[in-house]
Amino acid sequence: MRLLFVCLGNICRSPTAEGVMRSVLAAEGLADRVSVDSAGTGSWHVGHAADARARAAAAQRGIELDSVARQVSAADFQDFDLLLAADRSNERDLLALAGADPARRAKVRLLRSYDPAAVAAGDLEVPDPYYDGGFEHVLDVIEAACKGLACAICQ
């Protein structure tokens, strides 16, 4: 299984999801069965490390965010089994990139759709902490979604 986490700039939410998922997979003994990566729909931060605030918040939980930002591409639909969008805007951008191909479109999911509590609450977007902070809350919601995703992979 190959997973790509996608947000806008690939410096906050998607690298956080990549790091959290690596941690969850290691804890569940699935690290050798699943590969993870992250990308952004925009190109503003290509080549940059994750936001220092995201790295600091993750480090307090023992999670390393070591990815380098890149932009999502059409080739990612061939290279990954799931493209997990942080919010509806990212989902729309991914679906536009997928085009009319139903197989490519079926790979696009909202990350929080794997969190039963988020689904029940109708709150399927990971908030963007870039301007308003909230990196701890983002870690919480991403962790819940990643645990649900790991359970789905196990089945």
Catalytic residue numbers read 7, 13, 128
Q: Which amino acid is at 114?
A: Y
Pick the closest to residue 6 from 76, 86, 81 (CA basis): 86
Cα gap 122→96, rounded to integer Å: 23
Measured N-to-C along each axis, helices 13-28 and 135-154 cross at an angle, to the nearest 10 degrees, of 50
Coil vs helix vs strand at 6: strand
Task: Count other Cβ atoms within 10 Å, centred on residue 71.
Answer: 16
Cα gap 48→57, rounded to integer Å: 18
Spacing of C-alpha 39 from chain mean position: 8
